[in-house]
Amino acid sequence: MKRVNVGEMNEMNARFVEQTIAERGDAWNKIYSAIRTFRLDNMANEDGQAYPLVDLMTADIPGLSISDGEWRMVALADEIFEALYPEKVAAARRAIFEKDTSCLSAIAAA
């Protein structure tokens, strides 16, 4: 079984989150921002402050950064966005499918 390189995983997660935030629209970014800054007032951290949701969503692996939790928050924001704007998500998926299909057709014709 291959061991996970935590440093590489942290970098990969951080790049994914950064790229995703840059690619999504304003509505998605508002959803993500609300999730990312949310704190659980029924739990406290070691400083006695409300526990950040990002910490709760980060896997408990030594050395793993909060980018893991942020990656999971991206997935949650995607789910919420799709529930609120299913027509936008469907249109985006159609556009991607059509682009992929036209690329495949061009390759097949070559």
Instruction: Look up tokens 């739990």; give the residue.
Output: 43
Q: Does 103 score more than 70 pLDDT? A: no
Q: Tell me the whole-structure pTM to 2 decimals.
A: 0.71
22, 77 in Cβ contact below 8 A? no
Residue type, 30: K
**pLDDT by residue (tens digit) across 17-58?**
788 877 888 999 999 999 999 999 999 988 999 999 999 999
What sign results for the dihedral spanned by CA atoms 96, 98, 102, 107? positive
Question: Which tokens is 68 given?
Answer: 């893991």
Spans of all domains in the chain: 6-84
Query: Is the pLDDT confidence value at 104 over 80?
Result: no
Alpha carbon 27 to chain centroid, angstroms: 14
User: What would the pLDDT profile of 53-82 be if each residue is shown by its tens digit?
Assistant: 999 999 888 888 888 899 899 999 999 999
Which residue reads 């097949």 in tokens?
108
